[in-house]
Amino acid sequence: MKILSQIQFFFLSIALLISITTSSTTSSTYSNQTNIDFIKTSCNLTLYKTLCYTSLSPYALTIDSNPKKLAVTALNLTLSSAKSTAKFIKNIRHGNLTRFEAAAVADCVEEIGDSVKELQDSIRVLDSTNHNDSSKFEMVMSDVETWVSAALTDDNTCMDCFVRDGRAKAAVKDLVRRHVVKVARMTSNALAFINMYASTHEK
């Protein structure tokens, strides 16, 4: 009888453990799905929805359905893409370019460099923003919106460097454009999230 009780206790413990694990997994899955839905809904308000969702969905748990974390994550991903693009374009300068192409690439590198600095400033300030400090929050968000808007302008100006000079080869233009367009679109999406976050404090 004692052995039977021990066996019953053993199986009861196993059943309880399975129940707890299943419940925890279900809760975690539900939570992550909620975060995914938040990203999907937010991305639907941007201009480049597919790029938005594919780049941000892997960070669903980090974002945690939080508008500020969404904006900061989008900015960080944009900054990473901008840095990679700047490095790529710098390497093009060492290739076999005409004088006109080299000048356009140099101008583009400068514009993307400015974009990187503006994104860095935006992330630094946004990270330290206190939503509860009404006057300071509005001022900071205005600065961040200005910087990210300027970064987007810099991205577009980089591409314009090649449009202005028709003597650059199409292959060089397309090579730069493919990389810069992605950065510009990510910047546009990040700006949309910054505006969304700013609007959470509007009266």
Q: pLDDT tens for residues 2-29?
A: 444 655 555 455 555 555 555 444 444 4
Q: Identify the segments of the chain with pLDDT beneath 70.
A: 1-32, 93-95, 131-133, 164-168, 202-203
Please state, in angstroms and rounded to a whole number, the distance separating the CA atoms of residues 76 and 58: 14
The domain 3-199 is classified under which CATH number: 3.40.50.11820, 3.40.50.10490, 3.30.565.10, 1.20.140.40? Answer: 1.20.140.40
Look at residue 200 in the predicted model and tell me its pLDDT.
Answer: 79
Look at residue 153 in the predicted model and tell me its pLDDT.
Answer: 95
Between the CA atoms of 79, 85, 90 and 95, what dihedral angle is there, to the nearest 10 degrees? 170
CB 37 within 8 A of CB 44: no
In angstroms and rounded to an integer, the radius of gyration of the C-alpha atoms of the chain is 24
Burial string for 163-187 (b: 16+ CB within 10 Å, else e) reads eeeeebeeebbebbbebbebbbbbb
Look at residue 177 in the predicted model and tell me its pLDDT.
Answer: 87
Please state, in angstroms and rounded to a whole number, the distance separating the CA atoms of residues 63 and 73: 7
Look at residue 32 in the predicted model and tell me its pLDDT.
Answer: 63
Q: Find the farthest-apart pair of alpha carbons in the chain and give their distance in angstroms, rounded.
A: 94
Look at residue 28 in the predicted model and tell me its pLDDT.
Answer: 46
Please state, in angstroms and rounded to a whole number, the distance separating the CA atoms of residues 201 and 142: 12
CB 86 within 8 A of CB 187: no
Please state, in angstroms and rounded to a whole number, the distance separating the CA atoms of residues 56 and 30: 18
Nearest to 119 by CA among 87, 82, 86, 84: 82
Q: Please state, as a whole number, how many other Cβ atoms lie within 10 Å of the Cβ of residue 145.
A: 16
Please state, in angstroms and rounded to a whole number, the distance separating the CA atoms of residues 185 and 202: 26
Please state, in angstroms and rounded to a whole number, the distance separating the CA atoms of residues 46 and 151: 17
